[in-house]
Amino acid sequence: MHQPVDAEPPPEPEPPPRPGRPEPLLEVRGLQKLYPLTRGVVLRRRTGAVRAVDTVSFGLGRGETLGVVGESGCGKSTVAKLLVHLERPTAGTVRYRGEDITRLSGRALKAVRRNIQMVFQDPYTSLNPRMTVGDIIGEPFEIHPGAAPRGDRRRRVRELLDVVGLNPEYINRYPHQFSGGQRQRIGIARALALNPEVIVADEPVSALDVSVQAQVINLMERLRDEFGLAYVFIAHDLSVVRHISDRVAVMYLGRFVETGTDEEIYEHPTHPYTQALLSAVPVPDPGARERRERILLAGDVPSPADPPSGCRFRTRCWKAEAVCAEKVPELAVPVAFRGRDRPVAHPSACHFAETLPLDRPAPRHVRQAPATGPSGPGGPGPDGG
Amino acid sequence: MPDGPGPQQPESPPPEPRDPASQRPEPQRPGPQRPGSQPPGAQPPDPRRPVAPTAGGAAADLAMDEGAALELPYGGTPGGPVGRPRSLWSDAWRELRRNPVFLVSALLILFLVVISLWPQLIVSTDPLACDLGKSQQGSEPGHPFGYDTQGCDVYARTVYGARASVTVGICATLGVALLGGIAGGLAGFFGGWADAVLSRTADVFFGIPVVLGGLVFLSVVTGTTVWPVVGFIVLLGWPQIARIARGAVLTAKEADYVQAARALGAGNTRLLLRHVAPNAVAPVIVVATIALGTYIALEATLSFLGVGLRPPTVSWGIDISNAAPQIRNAPHMLLWPAGALSLTVLAFIMLGDAVRDALDPRLR
Amino acid sequence: MPATGTRDGERPAPERDGPSGARLLDVRDLHVEFRTRDGTVSAVNGVSYHVDAGETLAVLGESGSGKSVTAQAVMGILDSPPGRITGGEIRFRGRDLLRASREERRRIRGARMAMIFQDALSSLNPVLTVGDQLGEMFQVHRGASRRAAKAKAVELMDRVRIPAAKQRVNDYPHQFSGGMRQRIMIAMALALEPDLIIADEPTTALDVTVQAQVMDLLADLRQEYAMGLVLITHDLGVVADVADRIAVMYAGRIMETAPVDQLYRRPAHPYTRGLLDSVPRLDRKGRGLRAVRGLPPDLRRVPPGCEFHPRCPRAREVCVRRRPPLYEVTGEDGTPLPGRASACHFWKDELADAPAR
């Protein structure tokens, strides 16, 4: 394997957000996924690789919710697929109860799958249109005949429908007869059927209407508390993630750039990207319009096929200096905060990490760089435009 | 740690109730049931009563039953399933039944199938009983279409000719759909080198000119039955269906529900038969139906050229071929079988169109 | 046109003052239907709103609320069939577009109003360079030469802050990132310096950081050109950031209109309240989200009475029986609150209940 740029060394104590968090249920170490770029049809030549996920590490305890936020293309969906073994990682391990599941196959893999399930983003494509709701939710029992005796399956499907707040009478309906929010409930019921311990939810509410989103979030919270589920909740909506998560990881171009409890990330962000992201979120409060200072990032996210050297955020960062192009910042508690108390002292992958409370005016940074970003490190360029 | 499919979490702390199915005596809503709030599901909109119990603490009530109102029966459930379960197939069927194009073509095809099975129903003359003395005569009572060069009854021959055409059309289509569908489907599903080999092979067969290939192939493999012709059509027709099936499977394979089933631990057989195939079969059906008409035309073409069906088999193609030189003296000899052929081909193509409209409304 | 579509209890929207000719855009009692195989869908049932020059009106609503259909009717890009405007007026500077001649409509809609769509990639022609597409506007409408048109295109791209405009003017749409494409869409809308821009979910497809850039740009440009802006969105956050006034739509009707700060502070309609309570807030971690129960209605079977009553915590018998008109909203002492209206029988209770936000 490659050199581990380990995020959270396991012994480092984290305040248990929930009572009773023994060993992590899921332990991810140095997860990496490269998609090779090839050219030519007959003689394929590898011309490079898209670094979708690059050395991601985290742990997930029982009943805990880890939120992963990032913009489109940052690799958060790939993380979801790796966790539920829909893709095999290029490097790294995913340990479930101590066992590395990335190398499993066949029967052993099937057994692990019972415990790690997934909820998909699009409620319109994640249900087979040719199957009834009963068949969709009952399919887990057919695949794992040990999970429920044959005669009992129908009853359990009805109970699952009831658990997710749908009328059990709808068991013979087809997915296209339901609205988006109802379909997402069906998807959740399917994920719940085998009593998993971990549910990986990839943008589960982003396709839903505002008033229905809250219903589904509430449902997921209720199920977590009732069945002791652990979630990996992946979303681009920072408000939703804050609402449901115990811990949050901010992802940028395939890497976690900052991790911590929701308070640490949202009240005391130390990574510039997190700060910019938070400041950009519109708050539904017109009164905040004047108070708020926004950090406007210049340009766009670079291509993951050709990420910048050193710190990947440096092309859009107002603090970038020469060292950022040369040295990859490790995801660890920044030197400046070592020994300090928790809210600020949390892992952040920045050479110049500092707190920037949101109520304090931030440097307004509108540097108009070309979309690809400057090639050199560029000086600390505040207040470009 | 061994982690078999047996009981989960062998060494977990005393389990919380995390079995949704067996340990839940009653449906639970978030938060305790407050006095004054109604049991979920029991909310008939009684016009004399407040629809919601507590008009004051409105927002608190909202929080209570996020799921309850889903079943609120209002002019049909708002946004929810109304009426009976409707599968996509039954929707398509309902759509078809209301389509006049489908009705006309289906009736025509039904009629064709019936007379090719039991031509005696409408014909009493033997198509092979010919009387040279009546060569090329026009219509007369009992023989409405007149006689051909050999003095055979054109009406009888036109009716009996349907059998050859329909047999070739249906058998060839079944063969093409099975071979092409399975080959293309598997190639699309598994990909890799098998896919590459299949695609190149299909390209090779695509490159064969149909008529030239027919002239060569059928002059080598001869027989008086329809099977050499059927075989030839299958041989040249399968790549078309294979391509369609491959594309449809590639699309269906990427769908989230296939990923979901995979995440549940479903094997390839289940994925293919239960999830991919039912969602990929529609375009194959559509193309096969349209192709059926063209296969009938192809059989007639080959028979016309003298390499398809051979006498004494009765075929529209043979009759057209015999009639062509005589078109000036006896046009009826040509018009009737040619008309029957055109109508049949048209019927199948119309059917295919109607089926496509019903199966995929987006194409309209 | 006959005054169709006035259901019982309907009154003309009250909050209208001043000569109507002064309004930049004035939509009155608009009705739009879609005829489908499964029945008639009433997508818009008597919507009235107006925008003045230099003002931003946000039309807030969920999918199926009719917010986009209304905009399409205004722009004259409604798919018809199946869509049909069955009643109402769309006045632009006092001129009713629905009764204007085809030529006049074309002139107004082409040059004086412009629209920005959610999906910039599919709204741009992939086989033409962005310079050609921007320049075309000047060639067609202003009769500019090719060279002049291109110069104008560069100028526009500069104005929407596309870096290195001179070099990029000959690039094709797919060579731009999502945010840059949306800027090009904005540039196209600005090309003829319209009086009114309708932006339909302009930032929904964009990432948060890019979304902020684009919204800023739109707000700046609106000020610079003193245009009217109709911002159609479902995002309460975006609305709070840029809007002056808000119209909340539900099931093809306006539920509430109010100046932005008042709407957030003291909503006068249970649906507005429900929406505000159901979004998670970045700046506070609440305990539970107060979701609006139930689902948006099927527009083929709109509930009788108030459209919102099956989901409403305040619903009473009268709500099932009578459809509430758009009531004028006043303060406790009876002083009128300008610009405020609510389509709820119990708007007083709702207003009184509003906690200090």
Residue C315 to residue B30, Cβ atoms within 8 A: no
Which tokens belong to A253? 């171009």
Considering only CB atoms, C289 lies closest to which of A214, A289, A301, namely: A214
How far apart are the C-alpha atoms of B344 and B361, rounded to whole Å?
A: 26
Q: Is A250 on the interface with B (CB under 8 A)?
A: no
Helix, strand, coil shares of chain A, percent, nearest 5, are 30, 20, 50
In percent, how much of chain B has pLDDT > 70? 75
- Is the model more confident about C353 or about B171? B171
How far apart are the C-alpha atoms of B339 and B345, rounded to whole Å?
A: 10
Q: Is B58 on the interface with C (CB under 8 A)?
A: yes
Residue A375 lies in a domain: no
Q: Which stretches within B265-315 are classed as H helix?
A: 268-270, 277-304
C217-269 pLDDT, tens digit each: 888 888 888 899 999 998 888 888 888 999 999 999 999 999 988 888 889 99
Cα distance from A338 to chain B (closest Cα, Å)?
A: 35
pLDDT tens, position by position, for chain A (385 residues)?
Answer: 344 444 444 444 444 444 444 568 899 999 999 988 877 666 667 778 888 898 899 999 988 999 999 888 888 899 999 999 998 999 999 999 888 988 888 888 988 999 999 999 888 889 998 899 999 999 999 999 888 888 888 999 999 999 998 888 888 888 888 888 899 999 999 999 999 999 999 999 988 888 888 889 999 999 999 999 999 999 988 889 999 999 999 999 999 999 999 888 988 888 999 998 888 888 888 777 766 677 878 777 888 888 888 899 988 888 888 888 888 898 888 877 777 777 778 899 988 887 765 444 444 444 333 333 333 333 333 333 2
* Total domain count, chain A: 1
pLDDT at residue number C22: 62
Within 8 A by CB and 6+ apart from A105, the residues are: none
- Sign, CA dihedral B55-B61-B66-B72, equals negative
Considering only CB atoms, A174 lies closest to which of B17, B88, B278, namely: B88
How many other C-beta atoms can be found within 10 angstroms of the C-beta atom of residue C166? 11
Chain A residues within an 8 Å CB radius of C280: 214, 217, 237, 239-240, 242-244
Single pTM value for the model: 0.79
Residue with tokens 């026009």: B138
Q: Is A170 on the interface with B (CB under 8 A)?
A: yes
- Is the model more confident about A375 or about B338? B338
pLDDT at residue number C101: 87
Q: Is A105 on the interface with C (CB under 8 A)?
A: no
Burial class (CB in 10 A: 0-12, 13-18, 19+), C216: middle
List the domain boundaries for chain B.
107-363
- Per-residue confidence band for B131, with pLDDT thresholds at 50, 70 and 90: confident
Q: Is C289 on the interface with A (CB under 8 A)?
A: yes
B188-205 pLDDT, tens digit each: 999 888 888 888 898 898
Q: Is A94 on the interface with C (CB under 8 A)?
A: no
Considering only CB atoms, C234 lies closest to which of A210, A239, A282, namely: A210
How far apart are the C-alpha atoms of A325 and A311, rounded to whole Å?
A: 6
pLDDT tens, position by position, for chain C (357 residues)?
Answer: 344 433 333 434 434 444 445 689 999 999 999 887 777 888 898 899 999 988 999 999 888 888 889 998 998 888 877 888 998 989 988 888 888 888 888 888 878 898 888 877 788 888 888 888 888 888 887 788 888 888 889 988 888 888 888 888 888 888 888 888 888 888 888 888 889 999 998 888 788 888 888 888 888 888 888 899 999 998 888 888 888 999 999 999 999 999 988 888 889 999 998 888 888 887 766 667 788 888 888 888 888 889 899 888 888 888 988 899 989 888 877 788 888 999 999 988 888 876 644
pLDDT at residue number B177: 93
Cα distance from B76 to chain C (closest Cα, Å)?
A: 8
Cα distance from B42 to chain C (closest Cα, Å)?
A: 14
B295-335 pLDDT, tens digit each: 988 888 888 888 888 877 888 888 888 888 888 888 888 88
Residue B78 to residue C296, Cβ atoms within 8 A: yes
Chain A residues within an 8 Å CB radius of C207: 71-72, 236, 301
Considering only CB atoms, B58 lies closest to which of C303, C314, C320, namely: C314
- Architecture of the domain spanning C22-243: 3-Layer(aba) Sandwich (3.40)
List the domain boundaries for chain C.
22-243, 266-353
Residue B264 to residue A129, Cβ atoms within 8 A: no
CA nearest to A86 within chain B:
B263
Within 8 A by CB and 6+ apart from B200, the residues are: none
Q: Is B41 on the interface with C (CB under 8 A)?
A: no
Q: Is A306 on the interface with B (CB under 8 A)?
A: no
CA nearest to B79 within chain C:
C298
- Note down the domain range covering A144: 26-266
Considering only CB atoms, B75 lies closest to which of C293, C301, C312, namely: C301
Residue A80 lies in a domain: yes
A292 neighbors C219 (Cβ within 8 angstroms) = no
The enclosing H or E element of A87 equals none
DSSP state of A282: P
pLDDT at B100 over 80: yes
pLDDT at residue number A22: 55
How far apart are the C-alpha atoms of C135 and C130, rounded to whole Å?
A: 8
How far apart are the C-alpha atoms of A198 and C144, rounded to whole Å?
A: 63
* Range in B154-158, B221-225, C263-267 the model is least confident about: B221-225
pLDDT at residue number A231: 94
Considering only CB atoms, B78 lies closest to which of C291, C297, C353, namely: C297
Q: Which of residues 133-172 of C touch A (CB under 8 A)?
A: 161, 163-164
Chains that touch C (3 or more CB pairs under 8 A): A, B
pLDDT at residue number A160: 93
CA nearest to A262 within chain C:
C285
pLDDT at B75 over 80: no
The angle at the Cα of C117, spanning C77 to A253, to the nearest 5 degrees, equals 160
How many other C-beta atoms can be found within 10 angstroms of the C-beta atom of residue B181? 24
Considering only CB atoms, C320 lies closest to which of B47, B62, B66, namely: B47
Looking at mean pLDDT, say which of A192-206, B28-42, B117-131, C193-207 comes out highest.
Answer: A192-206
Chain A residues within an 8 Å CB radius of B70: 165-167, 182
Considering only CB atoms, C270 lies closest to which of B58, B66, B68, namely: B58
Q: Which ipTM was obtained for this model? A: 0.80
Q: Is B73 on the interface with C (CB under 8 A)?
A: no
Residue B257 to residue A85, Cβ atoms within 8 A: no
A64 neighbors A230 (Cβ within 8 angstroms) = yes
Cα distance from A315 to chain B (closest Cα, Å)?
A: 34
Residue B256 to residue A125, Cβ atoms within 8 A: yes
CA nearest to C290 within chain B:
B63
Which CATH number does the domain housing residue A117 bear?
3.40.50.300
Cα distance from B260 to chain A (closest Cα, Å)?
A: 7
pLDDT at residue number C205: 79
Residue A64 lies in a domain: yes
Count Cβ neighbours within 10 Å for each residue of A48-78 and write b for 16 or more, e otherwise.
ebbbbbbbbbbbbbbbbbbbbbbbebbbbbb
Q: Is B203 on the interface with A (CB under 8 A)?
A: no
How far apart are the C-alpha atoms of B215 and C142, rounded to whole Å?
A: 64
Residue B75 to residue C316, Cβ atoms within 8 A: no
User: For chain C, how long is the longest CA-to-CA vector?
Assistant: 68
Considering only CB atoms, A112 lies closest to which of B3, B15, B278, namely: B3
- Per-residue confidence band for B82, with pLDDT thresholds at 50, 70 and 90: low
pLDDT at residue number C284: 67
Q: Is B192 on the interface with C (CB under 8 A)?
A: no
Domain B107-363 has CATH 1.20.1250.20: no
Task: Name the β-bridge partners of C115.
Answer: C198
Q: Is C212 on the interface with A (CB under 8 A)?
A: yes
Within 8 A by CB and 6+ apart from A327, the residues are: A310, A311, A351
How many other C-beta atoms can be found within 10 angstroms of the C-beta atom of residue C167? 10
Burial class (CB in 10 A: 0-12, 13-18, 19+), C332: exposed
Chain A residues within an 8 Å CB radius of C296: 179, 209, 211-212
Considering only CB atoms, A167 lies closest to which of B6, B63, B70, namely: B70
Chain A residues within an 8 Å CB radius of B69: none
Pick from C43, C59, C42, C49: which is nearest to C26 by CA? C49
pLDDT at B24 over 70: no
DSSP state of C298: P
Cα distance from B244 to chain C (closest Cα, Å)?
A: 26
Chain A residues within an 8 Å CB radius of C177: 300, 371
